[in-house]
Amino acid sequence: MSNPQQLRYSKEHEWLSGAEDGVSTVGITEHAANALGDVVYVQLPDVGATVTAGETCGELESTKSVSDLYSPVSGEVTEVNEDVSNDPSLVNSAPFEGGWLFKVRVADEPGDLLSADEYTAFSGS
């Protein structure tokens, strides 16, 4: 398993893309998707909602358990991935591509996000 170098990672196992026009994409890591098992339901934040770094903003339900979704940054949600809402298994099959969860206009980014190498060391994956 390889964590894309261009992304940054939270210790709650979310990833964050670099900002394009101030908007970043958020998803969960392959490590988290594998730990969850088959994802069968996602509850994503609403477009226009304000999310806060480190706080719950949604939920992922799998055949094994229910897990909170945490935002790695603070800002306003600009888009949610309707494909994942319709087919939650995308979180497992393509966590870094089609399985992204939402986009956020970043207002504040915490300084504790990890590089790919730091996340790999942290998660053991």
pLDDT in tens, 54-70: 999 999 999 989 999 99
Residue 66: in which H helix or E strand, if any? Answer: strand 66-70
pLDDT for res 1 = 58
Residue 58: in which H helix or E strand, if any? Answer: strand 56-62
pLDDT for res 109 = 84
Q: How confident is the model over 77-118, as pLDDT tens digits?
A: 999 999 999 999 999 999 999 999 999 999 998 889 999 999
Contacts for 72 with CB less than 8 Å, ≥ 6 apart: 8, 9, 10, 12, 14, 15, 16, 26, 53, 54, 109, 110, 113
Residue 19 pLDDT class (50, 70, 90 cuts): confident
Spatial distance between the Cα atoms of 14 and 70, rounded to a whole number of angstroms:
7
Distances (CA, A) of 9 to 27, 58, 67, 113, 118: 10, 17, 17, 5, 9
Spatial distance between the Cα atoms of 83 and 75, rounded to a whole number of angstroms:
22
Task: Specify the pTM.
Answer: 0.95
pLDDT for res 125 = 80
Coil, strand or helix: which one is 95? coil
